């Protein structure tokens, strides 16, 4: 077997992203034991920083060891028991993932659908919520597959009028645009690592409130081997052991009940990623994502390409661009990667072969990378026989970066 050799890449996908070298450096530190006080301090720091990142005062804010779908599965598998009613508004692939997870948990799932490339009017969802009164509403905030950002700020209030729970997948929007957990009354939320937080995948920040905790704790069952006489076993216990949020609460609290062996290196990366993000400041970070997104859109448009559903609830960290007619989108992506070392994404379902998705998330969302991207992407298109105006693309991209900063502080409540 030859030595591992990782080629240089410019990653411009909607996850994973480029990683700040300071995060990689933090992850090269020596392993600590999971109950070492030096490490439990890192765990507590991570909880505190996750709270800030979600704009929440929730006690329960900790990472799940696993990729973001493990976070979604932990939340759905803990709150949905067989027979529970669940409403999922679906407007892309990750809404379908919620359907899948809720069905596997035994939920009675109702869906409502919006055309891919669009979002729901919140009133439409609210009237369905009022009609069905589902125990759980599970919705995606940033639907990476279509590049749409779903407004969700009014749903919680409607659900809380009758005592339901709002579960949100903010995997792709988290740390790139505001996710106001307390102000928007979100009961349980999943963030992402390898998206706008820009750390390696494999650890997932989540948060949930006390009312959600009280509900899932009715199902609490501490595993044999660490169970004490004080631990009662709830009926209809959570079927997953690994993703059982009630046992994870005991692990992520002073009880430090032995559960899995924490992925210490991933926690180091999370710590440095969150520290860097909070040091940048969330309003500044959101502003940066917005500006980079606008710069990329301007550049691509000036080159002569068409942005898919431009201006229609676009995520400020995913740009969907129509694949020029007669071009094989996947063959082009492959050559862009092999010849130029640049990676972009295709899409799913009905959008497969129609759009490319370009991610401008976290560390990837910086001026130098965007200009390099436009230059290489334009050159590759020219080489593939697509006539684009590369100079106009570069000029338009640069012009957006030269505009004075528009403050976005009003988007964000103070902590
Ligand atoms: C919106 C959304 N939800 C969930 C996931 C699943 O995340 P992971 O691949 O980290 O499990 C993704 C991944 O792309 C996503 O974009």
How many A from CA of 30 to the centre of ligand 1?
29
Question: What confidence score (pLDDT) does residue 410 get?
Answer: 41
Percent of the chain with pLDDT over 70: 98
Among 46, 54, 102, which residue's Cα sits nearest to residue 208? Answer: 54
> What is the per-residue pLDDT across 338-348, written as a single tens digit (0 to 9) for each?
999 999 999 99
How many A from CA of 182 to the centre of ligand 1?
23
Q: How confident is the model at residue 406 (pLDDT cuts 50, 70, 90)?
A: low
> What is the per-residue pLDDT across 235-258, written as a single tens digit (0 to 9) for each?
799 999 999 999 999 999 999 999
Which atom of ligand 1 approaches the CA of 193 most closely? 10
How many A from CA of 68 to the centre of ligand 1?
5
The SS3 assignment for 140 reads strand
The encoded tokens of residue 269 equal 């990366």
How many A from CA of 69 to the centre of ligand 1?
6
Which atom of ligand 1 approaches the CA of 201 most closely? 10
- How is domain 282-411 classified at the architecture level of CATH? Alpha-Beta Complex (3.90)
Question: What confidence score (pLDDT) does residue 192 get?
Answer: 98
As for ligand 1, residues whose beta carbon falls within 6 Å of it are 15, 67-69, 94, 140, 142, 144, 169, 171-172, 201
Q: How confident is the model at residue 294 (pLDDT cuts 50, 70, 90)?
A: very high
What is the full DSSP assignment across 77-123? HHH--TT-EEEEEESSHHHHHHHHHHHHTT-EEEEEE--TT----HH
**Average pLDDT for residues 83-96, to the nearest whole number?**
98
Question: What confidence score (pLDDT) does residue 141 get?
Answer: 98
Phi, psi of 85 (to 5 degrees): -90, 140
Quote the pTM value. Answer: 0.96
- Cα dihedral value 123, 127, 129, 130, nearest 10: 130
Beta-bridge mates of residue 189: 168, 207
Residue to probe by mutation, ligand 1, list 88, 171, 346, 362, most atoms within 8 Å of CB: 171
Which atom of ligand 1 approaches the CA of 204 most closely? 10
> What is the per-residue pLDDT across 358-390, written as a single tens digit (0 to 9) for each?
999 999 999 999 999 999 999 999 999 999 999
- On the question of pLDDT at 405 being above 80, the answer is no
- On the question of pLDDT at 269 being above 60, the answer is yes
How many A from CA of 206 to the centre of ligand 1?
13
How many A from CA of 330 to the centre of ligand 1?
21
Question: What confidence score (pLDDT) does residue 350 get?
Answer: 87
**Average pLDDT for residues 221-245, to the nearest whole number?**
91
Whole-Å CA distances, 338 to 12, 29, 321, 334: 14, 33, 21, 6
Distance CA 362, CA 285 (A): 8
How many A from CA of 284 to the centre of ligand 1?
24
In the predicted model, what is the mean pLDDT of the chain? 95
Question: What confidence score (pLDDT) does residue 414 get?
Answer: 32
Question: What confidence score (pLDDT) does residue 411 get?
Answer: 42
Planar angle of CA 56, 53, 279, nearest 5 degrees: 135
**CA 95 from centroid of its chain's CA atoms:** 13
Domain boundaries along the sequence of the chain: 21-278, 282-411
Which numeric CATH code is attached to 21-278? 3.40.640.10
Residue to probe by mutation, ligand 1, list 13, 172, 174, most atoms within 8 Å of CB: 172
**Average pLDDT for residues 60-71, to the nearest whole number?**
98
β-strands 342-343, 10-11: how paired? parallel
How many A from CA of 106 to the centre of ligand 1?
22
Which atom of ligand 1 approaches the CA of 143 most closely? 1
How many A from CA of 146 to the centre of ligand 1?
13
Residue to probe by mutation, ligand 1, list 17, 68, 73, most atoms within 8 Å of CB: 68
Which atom of ligand 1 approaches the CA of 192 most closely? 10
Among 64, 84, 72, which residue's Cα sits nearest to residue 139? Answer: 72
Which atom of ligand 1 approaches the CA of 15 most closely? 14
Which atom of ligand 1 approaches the CA of 141 most closely? 1
The residues, ordered by sequence, that sit 6+ positions from 383 with a Cβ below 8 Å of its Cβ are: none
How many A from CA of 192 to the centre of ligand 1?
7
The upper half-sphere exposure of residue 288, i.e. CA atoms within 13 Å in the direction of its Cβ, equals: 20
Question: What confidence score (pLDDT) does residue 341 get?
Answer: 98
**Average pLDDT for residues 82-100, to the nearest whole number?**
98
Beta-bridge mates of residue 64: 204
Q: How many CB atoms neighbour CB 330 within 10 A?
A: 13
Hey, whose CA ends up nearest to atom 16 of ligand 1?
144
How many A from CA of 15 to the centre of ligand 1?
8
């Amino acid at each position: 077997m030859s030595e591992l050799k990782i080629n240089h890449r410019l990653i411009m996908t909607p996850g994973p992203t480029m990683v700040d070298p300071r995060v990689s450096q933090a992850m090269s530190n020596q392993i600590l034991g999971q109950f070492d006080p030096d490490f439990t301090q890192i765990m507590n720091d991570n909880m505190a920083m996750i709270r800030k990142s979600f704009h929440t005062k929730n006690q329960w804010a900790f990472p799940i060891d696993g990729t973001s779908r493990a976070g979604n599965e932990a939340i759905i598998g803990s709150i949905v028991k067989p027979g529970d009613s669940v409403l999922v508004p679906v407007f892309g692939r990750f809404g379908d993932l919620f359907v899948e997870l809720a069905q596997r948990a035994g939920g009675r799932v109702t869906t409502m659908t919006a055309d891919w490339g669009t979002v729901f009017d919140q009133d439409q969802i609210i009237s369905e919520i009022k009609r069905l009164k589902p125990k759980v509403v599970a919705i995606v905030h940033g639907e990476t597959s279509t590049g749409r950002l779903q407004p969700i700020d009014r749903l919680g209030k409607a659900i809380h009028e009758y005592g339901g729970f709002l579960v949100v997948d903010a995997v792709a929007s988290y740390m790139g645009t505001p996710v106001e957990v307390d102000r928007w009354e979100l009961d349980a939320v999943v963030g992402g690592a390898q998206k706008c937080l820009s750390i390696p995948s494999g650890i997932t920040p989540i948060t949930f409130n006390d009312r959600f905790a009280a509900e899932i704790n009715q199902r609490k069952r501490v595993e044999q081997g660490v169970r004490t006489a004080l631990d009662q076993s709830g009926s209809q216990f959570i079927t997953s052991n690994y993703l059982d949020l009630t046992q994870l609460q005991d692990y992520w609290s002073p009880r430090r009940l032995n559960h899995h062996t924490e992925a210490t290196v991933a926690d180091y990366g999370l710590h440095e990623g969150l520290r860097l993000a909070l040091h940048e400041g969330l309003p500044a970070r959101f502003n940066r994502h917005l500006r980079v997104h606008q710069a990329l859109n301007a550049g691509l448009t000036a080159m002569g390409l068409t942005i898919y559903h431009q201006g229609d609830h676009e995520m400020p960290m995913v740009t969907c661009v129509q694949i020029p007619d007669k071009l094989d989108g996947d063959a082009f992506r492959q050559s862009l990667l092999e010849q130029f070392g640049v990676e972009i994404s295709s899409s799913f379902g009905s959008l497969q072969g129609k759009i490319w998705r370009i991610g401008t998330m976290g560390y990837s969302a910086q001026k130098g990378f965007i200009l390099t991207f436009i230059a290489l992407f334009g050159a590759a298109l020219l080489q593939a026989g697509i006539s684009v105006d590369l100079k106009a693309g570069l000029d338009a991209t640069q012009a957006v970066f030269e505009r004075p900063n528009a403050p976005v502080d009003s988007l964000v409540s103070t902590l």
